[in-house]
Amino acid sequence: MFAYLLTAIAGPLTLDNSGEESWSETWTAIADLSDGSYALVQYLFTNAGFGDGNAACRALWVPAGGAGVNGADKAGSDWTATETQVDVADCSLRVADGQTRFTAVTDAVTLDLTLDREARAHQAPDGRVVASDGTWYTSEVLVPWAEATVVTSGRTLTGMGYLDHTRSTTMLPKIATGWYRFRGYYGDTVFLVQARMPADGGAAVGWTWGTGGTSALSDFTVLSTAPVTLAVGDAQVVAGEQLFQYKPAEQYGLLGDLAKPFVGDPTTTTYRATMSLPDGGEVRGTLEVQTLQ
């Protein structure tokens, strides 16, 4: 059943384990809202362990000035997929009418996150990484930025949002010690940075993405860890208030244990952050710092 669905569907939400015995896949959407709130919705799929396919849906809500609430719905194999919609238990990710909508109903929080842009694969530098044993990790941005609307607890808030998609047959510590992801949507421009710290200790690899398009990452340095301060060429990113910290292997329970062969035991910390530009301007957004064990 699982293999049939994988070969039957196509489009921006295609699931594909490429015939591998061990495989995981994620879709992750975030919304950085104008009132200071932050939302994240994520799917995790894996065929590790017993059974052909297991899935979970996760939602994180951080109200402005408040504590974050993190919830998950572990669906097992209770999911369906078409060309433009993937449903996991009571969660749904779908593309239609020029929009991408990710709805999550979990044990702790319900979020309805809409991006005013259809998901479409964008290939960026470092989009495919192959480990020494031939296993691999791929990532693609489906929505780099778009106006976002989030509905939760009877409130409707607006801001900017993002969606990406990953597939993996490798254990992430084989290819990285961590990632830095800056998403700056407010200020003088829009600017994204993704930096992977290679497992072999080499220079950071990744990309930058502004209104002029993508470029391979260069001149990236971690200047400080307290507070986290990054040099990106002639620009500088400084982390501010911590929004949330989580360990997905713990959050997903049994499914997280099954996913450990791929993700290890990472910690992801999300901060408010500001990028200072060489011309004196600035871009405000969020910074994710992911460390792997």
Mean pLDDT over 50-70 rounds to 85
What predicted TM-score, i.e. pTM, was given to this entire model?
A: 0.91
Question: What is the tally of structural domains in the chain?
Answer: 1
Specify the CATH number for the domain of residue 194: 2.40.370.10
- pLDDT for residue 2: 27
- pLDDT for residue 238: 98
pLDDT in tens, 89-125: 899 999 999 999 999 998 899 999 999 999 998 888 9
pLDDT in tens, 15-43: 765 566 678 889 999 999 999 999 999 99
Residue 61: DSSP 8-state: E
Contact yes or no for 159/187 (Cβ under 8 A):
no
- Residue 20 sits in which domain range? 2-291
For residue 184, what are the contacts with CB-CB under 8 A and spacing of at least 6? 190, 191, 192, 273, 275, 283, 284, 285
CA–CA dist 63, 65 (Å, integer): 6
CA–CA dist 78, 89 (Å, integer): 6
Which percentage of the chain shows pLDDT scores above 70? Answer: 86
Q: Looking at the predicted structure, is the pLDDT value of residue 53 above 90?
A: no
Contact yes or no for 155/185 (Cβ under 8 A):
no
Residue 202, CA distances (Å) to 22, 111, 182 in order:
27, 39, 20
pLDDT in tens, 156-178: 999 999 999 999 888 899 999 99
Mean pLDDT over 57-81 rounds to 86
Token pair 């340095």 in the structure block, residue: 221
**Identity of the highest mean pLDDT range in 14-18, 58-62, 243-247:** 58-62
Q: How many CB atoms lie within 10 A of CB 154?
A: 5
**Identity of the highest mean pLDDT range in 2-16, 52-66, 219-233:** 219-233
Model confidence at 9, in pLDDT bands (50, 70, 90)?
Answer: very low
For residue 170, what are the contacts with CB-CB under 8 A and spacing of at least 6? 129, 131, 133, 135, 136, 137, 262
Mean pLDDT over 183-197 rounds to 97
Q: What are residue 276's DSSP bridge partners? A: 236, 282
